[in-house]
Amino acid sequence: MNQTNFNRSARILRAVLFSAGIAALLAMLPLSASAAGLDNSGRQLYLTHCAGCHGTNGISAVPDAKDFSRVELMAQPDQNLLNVIRAGRNMMPSYLGILSDQEIISIINHIRTLN
């Protein structure tokens, strides 16, 4: 094989590998999308239900929503936070019947990691 043919084969091989890579990535997309749909992690629940007001990073996005960076707030035991989240308070909606206690606890665990 002369140099020109070799270069051409190498280019073709690269193109084939590249398309195979793209195909593999595309094949994974529906999988990860459905995995995200089933994602019940505290982080995912937080992003779905709470981040609209409390911000992705726990810095409030609306007036009056509490910043989870406030130490006094997060020093409260899980049970207190759970009660507020279940019952709602003023502008904050109640999550009773929307989220299970177990889901609220995973959200609390997640917001304790924000600061």
Q: How many other β-carbons are positioned within 10 Å of the β-carbon of residue 113?
A: 11
Binder of ligand HEC out of 89, 94, 101, 115 (CB under 6 A): 89
Instruction: With CA atoms as reference, report the closest residue to 98 among 35, 45, 53, 60.
Output: 45
The nearest distance, CB 38 to ligand HEC, in angstroms, is 19
For residue 63, which amino acid is it?
Answer: P
CB distance 46 to 107 below 8 Å: yes
Residue 64 in the binding site for ligand HEC (CB under 6 A): yes
Q: Which two three-digit tokens encode residue 84?
A: 């507020």
Which residue in the block uniquely carries the two structure tokens 């609306």?
A: 62
Binder of ligand HEC out of 42, 58, 85, 106 (CB under 6 A): 85
- Applying CB under 6 A, the span of 4-12, 18-26, 31-39, 45-53 interacting with ligand HEC comes to 45-53
Residue 112 in the binding site for ligand HEC (CB under 6 A): no
Contact residues: ligand HEC, CB under 6 A? 49-50, 52-54, 62, 64-66, 73, 81, 84-85, 89-93, 95, 107
